[in-house]
Structure 1
């Protein structure tokens, strides 16, 4: 049985990953300000830069063991790449129809619910009272944070946009659930090399209908390099490693700190006002993290 120290280590791994993911929006916004790029191009470069990094890490850490993957497991890792690409494309498309606020609320908040339901009824993970309380607080905090950052000029709600956002949430949820299957059987960089390599190839196929933007100023290439290295390669390696002793439901709750990081960065860098609801949402999210790490007291 894993020790409490192992649990705390893996908790901080996943929390660090979610904090890194929270910087993606700021970096994307900076690139959008300088170039006429599109969401598909940014998503492709994130995955395309991360894939060789995972390959190098596999070579250093695993050597020839990189290719020792059972055929069934290889297919599931490829499926993980498919749902990662599905999440990236669906979420970007949902924003165009429904706006950032509604799309983010659905994509971030529905995913943990899907994970919790599937974990409880399909994987038979035990949903404790403390985890359920943390889920409710984290979802409430995310709703308040995203709502506090909304703008009146947001796009009107459409059924197609809601459907795409739900598809993104499903892709995000099943990436977590599928990754949980391999949390102890394979190294995190091995899983992500296959998944992200597949995702990059699938996104490249989408460029037949949406042009791939490849011309950027030097500063934007540095931002793309950051996106590929830190919130993609490093963050997903930490996330997958952290799932060794963290349940899928708990991992999905911790990742909601992505919204908290994005809101704080928008407040610090772009001077966006958090307001009372935003501050309350931040406190609820912090409270949910404290419940998870000190869950024996709840």
Structure 2
């Protein structure tokens, strides 16, 4: 239960209860569901782009606008619009940081896949995030990462590499160097946004946090997409009804709902574990391509898919020794012994 400013109440018990312990894997499950939702972005954007001619950056702008609109309506219907406004002002700095970093992640990711190719952009952006968070954790704790943590990240990144690159032709890369730089910026922003969202997710409920940060992200993405489209002389709209329905799906499911799931999951798991769990995104995209778009799986991509699943499965293991502070929000350490 949350207090008047979204702070958690009744979470200061000296020792974790069995109920709190059972909640731990559920956080990873929620993050994994967010990754699955994000895995539908690629196929949906591809279909909308082919039908409408809108650029990926323009589709991303409309997606953000749709998410912000739906969340504002939901907040108004729930009678929480003023509460979200107050909470946004109280936690303005971290909320602005999470929202703007989320926007940067999405914007530069689109640029990376256009400039450097889908495979290269995906591997660099999504692969960089777990490594950065592992380094951040080591710096904060002043301790070298455990072998189990290193093994989990290594297995997940190997799976990502196989799923993204194996058996596919590398997309045309008109601007490879700027594309790689954009992918590096995107991956860094994703890692920092997820890391910054953890403390916020534990003082704000997931709905309020999603409303606040997605409005900030939309405020950044919409003008950015419009500027890019104007500079490149790209169309700003379409008369294709199916494309608008796809944009609504992208905004409601892959942004509003998916980030709500992510923030709910971050309440009981760490940012490092979360970004590994979100690697279900490329795995889901490959599965959709095989099941619905006629792609044929390769041995390497199949191995990569199961490596990602195996790495995520290890994240639910609990340390045998009791936690130091006894809070139910203690991080789950992957591969702890």
Summarize deviations over 1:169-227 as a string: whole Å, max 9, x none: 11111110111121210112222222221221222322134236222411111111111
Shift of residue 295, structure 1, vs aligned partner: 5.0
Residue 4 (structure 1) aligns with:
21
Map 1:158-177 onto structure 2 (within 5 A).
158-177=176-195
Q: 2 CA distance for matches of 1:180 and 1:5? A: 19
Unaligned runs of 5+ in 1: none
Aligned pair partner of 2:196 in 160, 178, 186: 178
Unaligned runs of 5+ in 2: 1-15, 321-334
* 1:246 is the counterpart of 2:269: yes
Q: Structure 1 or 2: larger helix share?
A: 1
Shift of residue 296, structure 1, vs aligned partner: 5.3
SS at match of 1:150: coil
Q: 1 CA distance for matches of 2:318 and 2:239? A: 47
Aligned pair partner of 1:75 in 90, 93, 110: 93
Which sits farther off after the overlay, 9-18 or 198-207?
198-207
Aligned pair partner of 1:51 in 68, 88, 93: 68
Residue 326 (structure 2) aligns with:
none
Distance 1:229 1:125, change over 3 A: farther
Counterpart contact for 1:95–1:103, Cα < 8 Å: yes
Which sits farther off after the overlay, 77-86 or 230-239?
77-86
Residue 227 (structure 2) aligns with:
208
Q: 2 CA distance for matches of 1:65 and 1:126? A: 42
Once superposed, what is the RMSD of the aligned Cα atoms? 2.3
Residue 98 (structure 1) aligns with:
116
Which sits farther off after the overlay, 61-70 or 197-206?
61-70
Distance 1:44 1:70, change over 3 A: closer
Shift of residue 12, structure 1, vs aligned partner: 1.1
* 1:34 is the counterpart of 2:34: no
Question: Which of 1 and 2 has greater Rg?
Answer: 2
Aligned pair partner of 2:32 in 11, 15, 22: 15
Q: 1 CA distance for matches of 2:244 and 2:25? A: 35
Distance 1:147 1:241, change over 3 A: same
Aligned pair partner of 1:260 in 242, 261, 283: 283
Distance 1:255 1:216, change over 3 A: farther
Q: 2 CA distance for matches of 1:128 and 1:72? A: 37
Q: 2 CA distance for matches of 1:244 and 1:155? A: 39
Counterpart contact for 2:159–2:304, Cα < 8 Å: yes
Q: 2 CA distance for matches of 1:83 and 1:22? A: 20
Counterpart contact for 1:130–1:295, Cα < 8 Å: no
Aligned residues, how many?
298
Aligned pair partner of 1:286 in 291, 303, 309: 309
Q: 1 CA distance for matches of 2:144 and 2:207? A: 28
Residue 66 (structure 1) aligns with:
84
TM-score under structure 1 normalisation?
0.91
SS at match of 1:210: helix
Residue 223 (structure 1) aligns with:
246
